[in-house]
DNA sequence: TCTGGCACATA
DNA sequence: ATATGTGCCAG
């Protein structure tokens, strides 16, 4: 356990000021460096060649337009894509080294929002974070040359509000704010998924933060979506010209759609949606535009991650990458799967979930990244434990292992076997801090002052890292609440078969908390 | 709030 | 042509 601390060099929690530098206490191996790349982004690197990596957000201007109004992303049971699409240009990779690119979305704070009077405001505490999932870019693993050749698009990533989602989509809570992040994990021989020293870096573009909604709240957002998303072209025509036309139209019935958007366009002057009233320093952090929620990071959802997370704050641009050092042994697996979280929710699908055999999980873990063709489509999900700290500590980030990357203490990894190819079939393994991964948990807890919250406190081990599925960190104690469980889903034919269920072990606290 | 079906759009 | 991504709207 200790590792966590050691490992991480945690960064100091971001304060408003931004932390640009985190400290590395961990020192040794991990040092995190942050650099700024794009104006808004932050990146954290670990070492080993990861420091020269730069990531540029594609269509940043468009993201900014949405951000200024307060970006909203629809979440549906079946899964909805994000718009604007998350696409990045990556440079600085070693052309021959293989990397896995992943994305996740961590809670930007631990608040629940409401949209009233044409603006967003905090209305309460966030729901307990669910285990977060990681979306592995389908080309992963691939050589640096491949990733740098063209834009890397995460447009197929989908967001869902179905906590039991069997497709591997990123699960979010409606009316909660999230910060997407991209992680670049070195996947060469020396950094297999299960490796202890996996190097990775995380990049966060504050302008991509958004509030998950079941239906658009701010008409300005609706309008921006319609105006810019080709698939919504059928709803265009809301400009003034259109209004005129419409007004001339005899019966509205025939042209039902025009209305809303049109009408509302001008409503809110809104300041950014995100400029919410910040609440406590710690808590909400400024949502104001200028600052990012980052500050808050502290509380983030438990899950999140790792240190890296800490995102947003103001504008940091870089993140750190860390490498983990896990050492030990891994223990692995357990099959346990539990559904704690899920269970509570519903249990129908229980049958679908089966404990994954350990081996499987491991396999996934390890293999996927290995480049085998088969696993290329692997998707990893990370579940967070719930800690609440959303982005909070960078410190924690220290995850060296890739798992640790996941923000959450626990991670779930799902890989789609190439064979099956079905996009949705995959194996999954989840790690909670407990067993498999040492979670960054440590992260949460100890380090950051802010964290406060409950969540992290819980974890006994602060250590943060988690070993990859296979390895288990010694640190991880099983006892901690955060264990992960691996689940495998049986059902063969249906797409669902393989679901990964994220489970979070931890729930207890939160439950209360929120 | 959230859901499912719709008409329209892209690929 | 099929498959799928969109916002709208009634329920």
Distance CA A314, CA A13 (A): 12
Nucleotide nearest to A233 (CA to C1'): B9
pLDDT tens digits, A474-491: 222 212 222 222 222 222
- A29's tokens: 């191996």
Measured to protein CB atoms, the chain B nucleotides within 7 Å are 1-4, 7-11
- Residue closest to C8 C1′ by Cα: A257
Helix axes A219-228, A60-69, angle to 10 degrees: 160
CA-based radius of gyration for chain A: 21
Residues with CB under 7 A from strand C: A 74, 80-81, 83, 156, 158, 215-216, 222, 225-226, 229, 231-232, 234-235, 256-257, 259-261
- Residue for token digits 């040359």? A145
**Is A109 in a helix, a strand, or coil?**
strand
Nucleotide nearest to A258 (CA to C1'): C8
**Is A139 in a helix, a strand, or coil?**
coil
CATH of range A44-232; options 1.20.1260.10, 3.40.50.1110, 2.60.40.820, 2.60.34.10: 2.60.40.820
- Give pTM, 2 decimals: 0.59
- The distance (Å) linking the CA of A363 with the C1' of B3 is 38
Distance CA A347, CA A254 (A): 44
A111-150 residues near strand B (Cβ < 7 Å): 114-115
**Is A172 in a helix, a strand, or coil?**
coil
Amino acid A129: pLDDT: 84
| Residues 6 or more apart whose Cβ sits within 8 Å of residue A227 | A236
Residue A171, sorted as left (phi over 0), alpha (psi -120 to 50) or beta, turns out to be beta
Q: How is A202-247 classified by DSSP, letter by letter?
A: EEE-GGG-EEEESS---HHHHHHHHHH-GGGGGG---SHHHHHHHH
A177 φ/ψ angles, rounded to the nearest 5 degrees:
-100, 135
Question: Nearest CA to A120 among A324, A284, A333, A362?
Answer: A284
Nucleotide nearest to A214 (CA to C1'): B2
Helix (H) or strand (E) segment spanning residue A510:
helix A508-513
- Tally Cβ neighbours within 10 Å of residue A241: 9
**Is A105 in a helix, a strand, or coil?**
strand
Per DSSP bridges, beta strands A210-213 and A176-186 are: antiparallel
Q: Tens of pLDDT along chain A (514 residues)?
A: 332 222 222 222 233 333 332 233 333 334 444 444 445 566 665 556 798 999 999 999 999 999 999 999 999 999 999 999 999 999 999 999 999 999 999 999 999 999 999 999 999 999 988 779 999 999 999 999 999 999 999 999 999 999 999 999 999 999 999 999 999 999 976 655 556 678 999 999 999 999 999 999 999 999 999 999 999 999 997 454 444 444 444 443 334 444 444 443 333 333 444 543 333 222 222 222 222 222 222 222 333 333 233 333 333 323 333 333 333 222 222 222 222 233 333 333 333 332 222 222 222 222 222 322 323 333 444 443 333 334 433 333 323 333 333 333 333 333 333 323 333 333 333 222 222 222 222 222 222 222 222 222 112 222 222 222 222 222 222 122 222 222 222 222 222 222 333 322 222 223 233 2
- Tally Cβ neighbours within 10 Å of residue A118: 16
Amino acid A57: pLDDT: 98
Amino acid A276: pLDDT: 37
pLDDT tens digits, A80-97: 999 999 999 999 999 999
Determine contact, residues A100/A185, Cβ cutoff 8 Å: yes
Distance CA A507, CA A514 (A): 11
Amino acid A191: pLDDT: 55
**Is A89 in a helix, a strand, or coil?**
strand
Distance CA A386, CA A440 (A): 11
């Amino acid at each position: 356990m200790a590792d966590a601390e050691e490992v991480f060099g945690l960064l100091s929690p971001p304060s408003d000021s931004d932390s640009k530098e985190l400290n590395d206490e961990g020192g040794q191996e991990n040092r995190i460096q942050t650099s700024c790349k794009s104006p808004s982004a932050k990146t954290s690197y670990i070492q080993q060649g990861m420091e020269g990596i730069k990531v540029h957000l594609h269509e940043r201007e468009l993201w900014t337009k949405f951000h200024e109004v307060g970006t909203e992303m629809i979440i549906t049971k079946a899964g909805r894509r994000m718009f604007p699409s998350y696409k990045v240009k990556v440079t600085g990779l070693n052309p021959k080294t293989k990397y896995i690119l992943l994305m996740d979305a961590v809670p930007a704070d631990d608040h629940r929002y409401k949209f009233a009077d044409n603006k967003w405001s905090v209305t309460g505490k966030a729901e307990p974070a669910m285990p977060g999932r990681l979306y592995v870019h389908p080309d992963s693993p691939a050589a640096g040359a491949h990733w740098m050749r063209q834009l890397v698009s995460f447009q197929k990533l989908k967001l869902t509000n179905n906590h039991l989602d069997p497709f591997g989509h990123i699960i979010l809570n409606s009316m909660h704010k999230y910060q997407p992040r991209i992680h670049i994990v070195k996947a060469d021989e020396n950094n297999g998924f299960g490796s202890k020293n996996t190097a990775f870096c995380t990049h966060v573009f504050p302008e991509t933060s958004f509030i998950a909604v079941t239906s658009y709240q701010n008409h300005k957002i609706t309008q921006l979506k319609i105006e810019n998303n080709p698939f919504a072209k059928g709803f265009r025509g809301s400009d003034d010209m259109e209004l005129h036309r419409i007004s001339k139209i005899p019966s509205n019935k025939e042209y039902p759609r025009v209305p809303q958007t049109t009408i509302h366009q001008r409503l809110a002057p809104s300041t950014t949606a995100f400029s919410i009233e910040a609440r406590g320093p710690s808590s909400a952090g400024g949502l104001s535009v200028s600052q990012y929620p980052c500050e808050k990071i502290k509380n983030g959802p438990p899950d999140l991650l790792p240190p890296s997370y800490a995102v947003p704050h103001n504008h940091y641009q870089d993140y750190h990458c860390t490498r983990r050092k896990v050492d030990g042994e891994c223990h692995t697996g357990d099959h346990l799967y539990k559904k704690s979280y899920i269970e509570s929710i519903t249990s129908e699908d229980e049958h679908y979930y089966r404990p994954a055999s350990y081996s499987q999980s491991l396999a996934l873990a390890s293999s996927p990244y290995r480049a085998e063709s088969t696993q290329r489509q692997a998707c990893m999900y990370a579940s967070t434990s719930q800690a609440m700290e959303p982005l909070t500590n960078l410190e924690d980030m220290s995850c060296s292992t890739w798992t640790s990357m996941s923000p959450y203490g626990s991670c779930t990894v799902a890989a789609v076997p190439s064979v099956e190819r079905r996009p949705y079939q995959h194996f999954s393994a989840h790690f909670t801090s407990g067993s498999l991964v040492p979670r960054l948990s440590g992260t949460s807890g100890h380090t950051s002052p802010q964290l406060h919250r409950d969540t992290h406190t819980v974890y006994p081990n602060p250590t943060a890292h988690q070993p990859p599925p296979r390895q288990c960190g010694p640190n991880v104690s099983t006892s901690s609440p955060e264990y992960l469980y691996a689940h495998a889903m049986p059902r063969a034919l249906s797409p669902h078969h393989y679901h990964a269920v994220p489970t979070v072990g931890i729930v207890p606290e939160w439950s209360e908390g929120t």
